[in-house]
Amino acid sequence: MSIFQAMNASGSALTAQRLRMDVASSNIANANSTRASINEAGEWEPYQRKMVVLEPERQNFRHVLQQSTENGSASGVKASEIVEDEEPFKMAYNPSHPDADDEGYVRVPNVDPLQEMVDMMSATRSYEASVTSLNASKSMLMKALEIGR
């Protein structure tokens, strides 16, 4: 096992959690955007909530288990893609809105600010845990260097 393997795993987790925080903040910023994109019919569409899909750097569990038992290597995490939430848009009654239909309803984004804040807090906590792990690895390496003096 490389002495930097734990640091690499923590670093990949830091990158993934930062991306989760960026996507959640983008969702919050666009929670009221009723004109985010144009669909095939040439009509404006509200902003669609985005989510980050995370997966291990090594796909196969058998491969990860075998690598871990043979040489003790750790695996990191990566963001495989950013997907749009398929939940339907919400309808809000606001007849004075420029995007209101004939009945006075406006399609608004499928973003729940409360859920986004929970996602952001979760990503923040995971980020903090990865920083703690990185600092522990760094501390162990420093102690190992001190032994060599």
Q: Look over the chain and give the mean of its residue pLDDT values, rounded to a whole number.
A: 88
What pLDDT, on a 0 to 100 scale, did the predictor assign at position 60? 66
What pLDDT, on a 0 to 100 scale, did the predictor assign at position 106? 94
Domain, as residue range, for 78? 5-147
Q: What is the pTM of this model?
A: 0.81
Pick the residue with more confidence: 42 or 47?
A: 47
pLDDT band at 38 (very low <50, low <70, confident <90, very high): confident
What pLDDT, on a 0 to 100 scale, did the predictor assign at position 65? 67
Sorted by sequence, the CB contacts under 8 Å of residue 94 that are 6+ apart come out as 100, 104, 105, 106
d(CA 62, CA 68): 10
